[in-house]
Structure 1
Amino acid sequence: MEAVTTGVADGLWFEVIDGPDGADSVILSAGLGGSAAFWSPQMEALTGRFRVILYDHRGTGRSDRSLKPDHSVASMAEDIRSVLDATGTATAHLVGHAAGGNAGLQLALDHPDRLDRLVVVNGWSRPDPHVARCFTARTRLLEAYGPRAYVEAQSLFLYPPDWISEHDALLKAQDDHHEAGFPRVDVMLARIGALLAFDIDDRLKDIPHPVLVAASADDMLVPPLLSRRLAEGLPNATLDVVPWGGHAFTATVSGAFNARLVAFLNGDI
């Protein structure tokens, strides 16, 4: 059984699951929710093959529940660097979902020597009107009605309609869990603001790393056209679009995603 260690660095909770001797390190960075638990569907595929590093984003989960001043996606990238430093990790593959993927792109620009391969799931390189409309609706729900309304609406942005219908009991239980651990409202609003301000479109050519750009054709929060644009702008990108699964296709079709993920991290694609 792999050894597991946990710690806190600069207010960031992290966990390291050791892999085989000489195994590559993989750090996983969640999306807007920020919780390491987001990656539960990937753990069986990754542990035993890689040294896996998990962490909760600043402002969420078990990490410091406040943000530093002038929070931005660049701040999120610096937090990843802090976790790499704290875990004694010189270089790692990074797998990021939405906010986590954008932070990975920023890390590739700011600290290129710390990354090997990069996986960006449902990410983007510049603000988009559709994404902005979705986040504006979520922001207004949060401001007017509070976290419960926000988390109840969240499933509509994350999952395909038929999957929601078939998993209603599970989603209701998740709503309770997410409400109980919801970040402070000002923290969530600042995190959303950072994502809407993120724009590295004219710098994509400066990211030489191998990048798997992963998306779902039916993602209604981050349309796949943004992943196509991202892949076209990166010098060394592979675009992979699944036909169904929604914004959280890492969970709804985890088997297909995990197979592509492991193949990419191993250098097979």
Structure 2
Amino acid sequence: MPHAQAADGAALHYQLRGSGAPLLLLAGQSNDHRWWDPVLDRFAAAFTTVVLDWRGTGGSDRPDTDTYGTADLARDVVAVLDHADIDRAHVYGTSMGGRVAQWLAADHAPRVDRLVLGCTSPGAPHGVERGPAVRAALADPDPEVSRAALLALMYTPAYTATHPGPYRTLGDPAMPAHARRRHLRASARHDAWDALPRIAAPTLVVHGTDDAFNPTANAPLLAGRIPGARSLLIPGGRHAYFEEFADEATPPVVDFLNAAPDTVR
């Protein structure tokens, strides 16, 4: 797995797979590139996929410094694209990866071809935050209880009953505590509301209808704030809709990314 070097010297590990136009896939908070493992082959069949380990995860460096903000992580992504010699890519960001993708498209517009924002939010104070019951369950001091709560927020009971795992969306278990705190702070402090109207890339906003982890109400907020954006709701989908409902979610995303320029808005 090659690695790029961030502006502060941190090593950023990434992986290329497939062929065709480049597609950058951005994972959620506290997760590495394995977030995309269950669906990566589907995208690699149509694109040259780029997946990376956020700083603090996987094979990337884990500095205990104030360099984990979503705009900082967007600059890390640019360093990866530079190292991979990719001038311009489609971008599909989910959860915190979607927050990073917003800054990437707004602040580094020449690097983004078409943009997909999945199960994400514009951030506080304009976004819709998860409810207090969800927060309490995730913060339970018993790790088994908090893990079960997170699993239920990601997938439906019917899915987990027939798919015993491993589940790639529950976080990198090797992350140090300082990196987990910094990832959490990055998501909590994200606020791209004023930047969203600057996004010029054709944009598709995707969300599961049953997502309580990042409430579905954020989808119309994003779509309404980004010029010309379209939205796609996945019935029954929770936060990991892209995995559990891959048959419903992946084809329209691929079609959107492959559409002719005059048909994507």
Q: TM-score range by the shorter chain?
A: 0.7 to 0.9
Counterpart residue number, 1:91: 88
In the alignment, which of 223, 231, 236 is matched to residue 215 of structure 2?
A: 223
- 2:116 equivalent to 1:119: yes
1:78 & 1:133 partners in 2: Cα distance?
33
- 2:205 equivalent to 1:245: no
Shift of 1:179: 7.8
Shift of 1:130: 3.1
2:203 & 2:64 partners in 1: Cα distance?
29
Shift of 1:139: 6.4
**Segment of structure 1 superposing worse, 35-44 or 188-197:** 35-44
What is the letter of the counterpart of residue 42 of structure 1? V
Instruction: Indicate the structure with greater helix content.
Output: 1
Identity across the alignment (%): 25
1:30 & 1:69 partners in 2: Cα distance?
20
Q: Calculate the TM-score normalised by the size of structure 1.
A: 0.85
Deviations 1:199-238 (A, max 9, x none): 1112221111111100010011111110111001110211
Q: Which runs of 5+ in 1 are unaligned?
A: 1-5
Counterpart residue number, 1:130: 129
In the alignment, which of 218, 225, 228 is matched to residue 233 of structure 1?
A: 225
- 2:101 equivalent to 1:104: yes
| CA contact 1:96–1:102 (8 Å) conserved in 2 | yes
1:111 & 1:180 partners in 2: Cα distance?
28
Counterpart residue number, 2:160: 164
| CA contact 2:138–2:149 (8 Å) conserved in 1 | no
| CA contact 1:8–1:14 (8 Å) conserved in 2 | yes
1:38 & 1:137 partners in 2: Cα distance?
24
Q: Count how many residue pairs are aligned between Structure 1 and Structure 2.
A: 254
Shift of 1:81: 0.6
Counterpart residue number, 1:3: none
1:68 & 1:57 partners in 2: Cα distance?
14
What is the letter of the counterpart of residue 26 of structure 2? S
Shift of 1:178: 6.1
1:132 & 1:62 partners in 2: Cα distance?
33
SS at structure 2 position matched to 1:28? strand
Deviations 1:117-175 (A, max 9, x none): 1111011112246337477436633xx456x65434320221123323443xx14x549
Shift of 1:190: 1.4
- 2:14 equivalent to 1:14: yes
1:103 & 1:180 partners in 2: Cα distance?
18
Q: CA 1:54/1:199 → structure 2, altered by over 3 Å: closer, same or farther?
A: same
Q: CA 1:149/1:70 → structure 2, altered by over 3 Å: closer, same or farther?
A: farther
Q: CA 1:189/1:208 → structure 2, altered by over 3 Å: closer, same or farther?
A: same
**1:16-95 aligned within 5 A:** 16-19=16-19, 23-95=20-92
| CA contact 1:101–1:122 (8 Å) conserved in 2 | yes
Q: Calculate the TM-score normalised by the size of structure 2.
A: 0.87
SS at structure 2 position matched to 1:224? coil
| CA contact 2:94–2:119 (8 Å) conserved in 1 | yes
